Structure 1
Amino acid sequence: MLRNYLKIAFRNLVKNKVYSFINIGGLAVGMAVAMLIGLWIHDELSFNKYHKNYDRIAQVMQHQTFNGEVGTQTSNPYLLGAEIREKYGSDFKFVLMSSGRGKHILKFGDKKLSIRGEYIEAEAPEMLSLKMLKGTNNGLKDPSSVLINESTAKAFFGNENPLFKSFRIDNKFDLKVTGVYEDIPHNSDFHDLAFIAPWDLYIKNENWDEKLSNPWRSNAFQTYAQLADNADVDKVSAKIKDVKLNKVDKANAAFKPEVFLHPMKKWHLYSEFKNGVNTGGQIEFVWLFGIIGIAVLLLACINFMNLSTARSEKRAKEVGVRKAIGSMRGQLITQFLTESFLVVMIAFILSLLLVELSLPAFNEIADKKISILFTNPLFWLLGLGFSLVTGFVAGSYPALYLSSFQPVKVLKGTFRIGHFASMPRKVLVVLQFTVSITLIIGTIIVYNQIQFAKNRPIGYNRDGLLAMFVNNQELIQHYNAIRNDLIKTGTVSEMSESSSPTTGVWAINNGYDWKGKDPSVQGNFGTVAVTHDFGKTVGWQFKEGRDFSRAFSTDSTGVVLNEAAVKFMGIKQVVGETMQIDGKPYKILGVVKDMVMNSPYQPALRTVFMLDYKWINIINIKINPKVSSSKALDQIETVLKKYTPDTPFDYWFVDDEYNLKFLNEVRIGKLTSFFAVLAIFISCLGLFGLASFVAEQRTKEIGIRKVLGATVLNLWTLLSKEFVLLVLISLLTAVPIAYYYMNNWLQSYDYRTEISWWTFAISGLGALVITLLTVSFQAIKAALANPVKSLRTE
């Protein structure tokens, strides 16, 4: 019997090819979108779970209060780890200090790589549960050791055994390989950790004990911890909150430092803090895409149900005949449900193929490395479970409703479907386009916000500006010679050094004082050390005063401020005034326009620029605009190799680095656009199917109207106006929903665009045009049909 049901179902699909394609294709696309989003959400929710102690690991962070506003940071004093171990050791299994991840140059023979790694205390491999392929977790206990990941080992040694071979790091010292660990997966915050070196070596070789006269004042290091098995993270966090406050001097105690634990399970999804309160983060996008996935899947299901119910009304006579020759109602119900299940299962199989084909592009957009979870039983349970539920819901209407028809009325022709039979379908079409238009509006607003921030004046010139890390002493020693040679070539117009790149301020210091300062105001400023030619290199723009000059030896105790700093200080005539930095007087030489160095969505950070040739981390190079970038890069590399042959030319263009600040919003915008297009596509498929059904249902009416003189335009209007009305209702529904949610989203940005009326106008007009294009094909086709044929047809 089941074989017979399947055979009939298959014949119905073949007989109605267009409807079958729309049904199966639309549902498959909807399932594929839901599956992609589901895989993305699974990846987000499983972030950092690679580490076995995931639920016991935390990062030690701190809140500090500046002028009534609480700021949160991951950086700590380098003595913090030892203090926590000494005072609260029973609550922790490990408390580890780290340099933080950064780029370093590893050299073995003639091979050189610029890769990311960090110096960390010896228990890190055990805490992070690194899977050692060679060597052991104890490798870092040797102060001259280094652990590398599998990719680094292959890059340097191929298939050779790397153990006990020596690397040179940053051209400073040699370390021998004591272990190789498996590459950490992409969905871990440590995925780019290519090597680990001993913490004690870092402290010794960088002379931090000598550099830091007040080791509790400087916050330049990361602290990780693993809780003891019986410890509660909230209780331990409350215990250690004053560990720094009890050690700092009176001046720093005024900032009310409060240490706390941020669990690893919250690092990725709950990373944002505002005024000392965790406000969420990536979890917002998990919810957003979860809702979008459900919405797009709902659109596909609506199509399926709409077309299934619409077509089922044409099968009334079939039901009458079947009942007349003895079919039981239960058999008819089984037949309709079988057809529904067959369509859904075909769509499910097709959706798997679509996901497999689209994953490479999706991974590139989403910056993921996800794959279909073929070996996960839950994946199959959810997929097949959803297919069964969808098939049952979509097939329940024809199965239960049509099987109840009285065969006598159907076969005599006295049966009528009912005036309100199409109302559920109209409601579902409105719901479909409400979702689609909402997504379109959201996509436009995200794009506008990105463009608004990108077009913001940034206070310097990024064109042709590149930067590179100062990662060895040779660059510093030969800096002047390198600069002179590059400028002589004509490919470089200017070159300078700084402690921070133009795309970030790496140091925020207190201890600033000035005439007229309110004693209750805490003088903390972003601080950037620069060399004389910095301003010429980056093209900063002076509002008043002058730049640093070699003609004035006193400029070594001079500073340049940005507009935000001057506004904060409240001094009208600031040039020529003196400000105190840690009790030492500095003359204010000039004021530059605010440089957008941190987030482009936030106000510019008040910043002080000072001359300091010792505190240098970055080399800034301005390429001559008359020279091509490729030629300039070749020339720069040639000169650098002359003086620093062991240093690879590792650089970045400031323009590209600045654009990375929009990466998250751009990625969200691209994904939302992708899903919005698919939502419209699915909605239009359903609209096309319904328009075909309506045109087919009104074939005789159209024929009669043509005989009585109706024009093609009259008939097109007749068939289209109902669908246009439904889309207009959708637009009126979508506008307030989109405005509410997108306005709330924009509130998270200090520097944000306004929601304009034209956003809604364009979205509505676009939806109407798409609707008319979709419906017009069937409407015009029906209007051009020969009325003689339609009126002769039974």
Structure 2
Amino acid sequence: MLTNYLKIAWRSLLKNKGFTFINIMGLSIGVAACVLISIYIVHEASYDKKIADSDHIYRMVNRYVQDGRINDGIHFSANTARTVLADFPEVLQTGRLMDNELFWGAGSNEMRIEGEQKQHHEEGFTYADQAIIDIMKISMVHGVAESALAEPNTIVISESVSNKYFGNENPLGKVLFLNGNNSLPFRINGVMKDFSSNSHLDYDFLITLKGVEFEEGEQTRWLQNNYFTYITLRPDADAKAFEKKMSTHLIEDYIVPASDAAGYVIPDDYRNQFFIKLQPLTDINLYSSTIGFESSKRNDIKIIWIFGIIALFVLVIAGINFVNLSTAKSANRAKEVGVRKVVGSSKSYLVQQFLTESVLITIISFALGILLSWALMPIFRGISGKELEMPFSNPQFYLTTILGAIIVGVLAGLYPSFYLSRFQPASVLKGKLSSGSKSSSLRSSLVVFQFTISIILIIGTLIVNQQMNFILNSKLGFEKDQVIQLYGTNLMED
């Protein structure tokens, strides 16, 4: 029976080539837009999920609630990490990062390779504990991951930096000087694979924190907060219970006594509104909008929801267009329905037939939509600034596409199928049905909804475009194209 449905559906599509082309192309464009947006959403939601045991890795956050407003920070004292590891059996590992450009070596630097005179400006420097390599499961191209940052004055560089300056040569043992010839030598002790595009870490240089003290006593001072602190909990640990216990312990047993010793008086109401929280590693990219002084750009879950709603609306508009075209074509199918009913076709048979046509159109549209999205991917990649790829190697992509085509086809074809199958043979064959569905209130409602959503999206696009043009082209009081930035002027000799 299904084969018969498909044959009749295919013949009907070929018979009405113009109608078929408009229907398929309209739906294909909607599918392509939806696919591109979905790939972007999946990419943003997948940050750090490829790291083994990512479900047990957290970043520490200090939270202060003032007048109902949440103020989050991610900087902690140098000894917070080792204290948490020593005081809580639930913790497997702790590690620190420090990329504050106020401290020498972090952020951007002028770099010189030993044996060369040329200085190179590079960014993406951060100080890191050896434990960070272990926690983040950073893979090494050259060197041993377990000891890459275990010794003082060592540095790990990314594979792209290694290829840039050393080509195919193994750079282990090479020495780098930062910000002047008189600086400390840093021996390259490892070459790590570049961080993936969906990692919240985007550094090219990891400088060891072994033996580092930026100020005298800074490594044991509780009230000097410069470090990001990451922890790995045991699989059987209750993160919520541990969070509460850790917050109380650190504040009452370390931070408050240190404040009292330094002569700072902490009001009781402040103590009741200050907490230490745990932020899951996989939440850092999308749930950091309340955190100040982030080291790199983050996305926002609100933006993801907005894009998801836009993708849904685009697909709904394409589906409504399909419904309207199908019902508008009903006058041309009325006699076909009447003849079939006269020769014995039941209403259920006709419904199944029209649903088959609908699903066939959506499957073809989804296939063309995916090809269109693949063709547009380079342009979309440039617009989004993300390293996005079509997930052709992911079996789940094909399963989702097939199920999506069937679901959209069924939903979009339900109304036209029941509408067409309810025509009365006597009225149709007598010519009393001549105008199809001009009086359909549902069609009118769908058209109004379709145009409303389209207008909202168009207005939103125009507003965003105007804002971007204002930001890019507004007068700043100087000719920005004629301004250059010089790096390394501090190294110039008199």
Q: Shorter-chain-normalised TM-score: which range? A: 0.7 to 0.9
In 1, the alpha carbon distance for the partners of 2:413 and 2:438 equals 20
Provide the rounded CA distance (Å) in 1 between the counterparts of 2:437 and 2:31: 33
Q: Which residue of 2 aligns with 1:161?
A: 170
Call closer, same or farther: CA 1:128–1:312 in 2, change over 3 Å: same
Separation in 1, partners of 2:61, 2:437: 66
Moved more, 13-22 or 308-317: 13-22
Distance 1:105 1:341 in 2: 61
Check if 1:234 corresponds to 2:249: no
Structure 2 counterpart of 1:341: 359
1:269-284 paired onto structure 2 within 5 Å: 269-273=286-290, 282-284=300-302
- Listed one character per residue, the Cα deviations across residues 293-351 of structure 1 (whole Å, up to 9, x for unaligned) are 11110000001111112112321112223344555555544432332222111111110
Counterpart amino acid of residue 278 in structure 2: L
- The letter of the residue matching 2:79 is L
- Residue 244 of structure 1 and its aligned partner are, at CA, apart by 2.4
Question: What CA deviation, in whole Å up to 9, does each residue of 1:192-237 have, x standing for no partner?
Answer: 221222102442xx4x227x59944433332222223333333333
Partner Cα distance (2:219, 2:475) in 1: 39
SS of match in other structure, 1:247: helix
Q: TM-score, normalised by structure 1?
A: 0.53
Equivalent position to 2:205, from 189, 195, 208: 195
How far off is 1:125 after superposition?
A: 0.9
Quote how far apart the aligned CAs of 1:94 are: 2.0
Q: Which amino acid aligns with 2:185?
A: D
Contact 1:53 1:128 in 2 (8 A): no
1:94 corresponds in structure 2 to: 93
Partner-residue secondary structure (3-state), 2:264: helix
1:285 corresponds to which residue?
303
- One-letter code aligned to 1:98: L
Superposed CA deviations along residues 355-399 of structure 1, whole A, max 9, x for unmatched, are 111112212222211222223233222211121122223333444
1:439 is aligned to 2:450: no
Amino acid at match of 1:294: L
The one-letter code matched in structure 1 to 2:76 is N
Distance in structure 1 (CA, Å) of the matches to 2:349 and 2:68: 74
Aligned-partner Cα distance in 1 for 2:406–2:437: 31
SS at match of 2:77: coil
Q: 2:339 — aligned with what?
A: 321
Change (3 A) 1:218 1:306: same
State how 1:289-308 maps to structure 2 within 5 Å.
289-308=307-326
Structure 2 counterparts to residues 498-577 of structure 1, below 5 A: none
Q: Is the CA contact 1:270–1:283 (under 8 Å) kept in the aligned structure 2?
A: yes
Which residue in the other structure is 2:283 paired with?
Answer: 266
2:403 corresponding residue in structure 1: 385
Give the direction of change, closer, same or farther, for the CA distance of 1:253–1:230 in structure 2 (3 Å limit). farther
Q: Is the 8 A contact 1:268 1:282 kept in 2?
A: yes
**2:207 aligned partner, one-letter code:** A
**Structure 2 CA distance for partners of 1:230 and 1:250, relative to 1, 3 Å:** farther
Question: Which of the numbers 356, 361, 380 marks the counterpart of 1:362?
Answer: 380
SS in 2 for 1:370: coil
Q: Secondary structure at the match of 2:194?
A: coil
Say if 2:95 and 2:135, in contact at 8 Å, map to a contact too.
no
Match of 1:220 among 223, 226, 229: 226
Match runs of 1:632-647 below 5 Å = none
**Aligned-pair distance for 1:430?**
0.6
2:286, 2:172 → 1: CA distance? 37
Distance 1:452 1:374 in 2: 39
Following superposition, the deviation at residue 28 of structure 1 comes to 0.5
SS in 2 for 1:221: strand
1:135 to 2:134 alignment: no
Point out where structure 1 has 5 or more consecutive residues left out of the alignment.
482-794
Q: Work out whether residues 328 and 437 of structure 2, in 8 Å CA contact, stay in contact via their aligned partners in 1.
A: no
CA contact (8 A) 2:327 2:436 kept: no
Q: Give CA deviations for 1:62-92 in whole Å, capped at 9, x if unaligned.
A: 2458999764322233333344344x24232
Aligned-partner residue type, residue 251 of structure 1? Y
Q: 1:380-419, aligned counterparts within 5 Å? A: 380-415=398-433
Distance 1:440 1:273 in 2: 30
Asked if structure 2 preserves the Cα contact closer than 8 Å seen for 1:80 and 1:244, the reply is no
Q: Cα distance, 1:29 vs. partner? A: 0.9
Question: C-alpha separation between the residues in 1 aligned to 2:436 and 2:132?
Answer: 72
DSSP 3-state at the match of 2:258: coil
Q: Which of 131, 139, 147 is matched with 2:156 structurally?
A: 147
Whether the aligned pair in 2 keeps the contact of 1:106 and 1:115 (CA below 8 Å) is no
Name the residue aligned to 1:549.
none
Determine what percentage of the aligned residue pairs are the same residue: 34
Where in structure 2 are the equivalents of 1:323-722 lying within 5 Å? 323-325=341-343, 327=345, 329=347, 331-415=349-433, 421-446=439-464, 463=480, 467=485, 475=490, 478=493, 481=494
Q: Which is higher, the Rg of structure 1 or of structure 2?
A: 1
| Aligned-partner Cα distance in 1 for 2:394–2:68 | 50
Partner of 2:12: 12
TM-aligned CA deviation for residue 134 of structure 1: 2.9
The answer (yes or no) to whether the contact 2:93–2:231 under 8 Å persists in 1 is yes
**Structure 2 regions of 5+ residues with no counterpart?**
100-105, 293-297
1:103 aligns with 2:108: yes
Counting matched residue pairs gives 465
Distance 2:208 2:452 in 1: 58
1:61 aligns to what?
61
AA at the equivalent of 2:206: I
1:90 aligns to what SS in structure 2?
coil
Instruction: Please provide the CA RMSD for this pair.
Output: 3.5
8 Å Cα contact 1:105-1:113 kept in structure 2: yes
Provide the C-alpha distance between the structure 1 equivalents of 2:368 and 2:93, rounded to a whole number of angstroms.
50
Bigger relative contact order, structure 1 or 2, given CA contacts below 8 A and separation 6+? 2
- CA–CA distance in 2 between the matches of 1:468 and 1:364? 28
Instruction: Measure, in 2, the Cα distance between the counterparts of 1:221 and 1:81.
Output: 9
Match of 1:115 among 107, 113, 123: 123
The answer (yes or no) to whether the contact 1:53–1:129 under 8 Å persists in 2 is: no
- CA offset at residue 420 of structure 1? 6.9
Amino acid at match of 1:310: A
8 A contact 2:351–2:417 mirrored in 1 = yes
Equivalent residue, structure 2, for 1:544: none
Provide the rounded CA distance (Å) in 2 between the counterparts of 1:430 and 1:375: 40
Matched, 1:251 2:264: yes
| Cα displacement (A) at 1:129 | 0.8
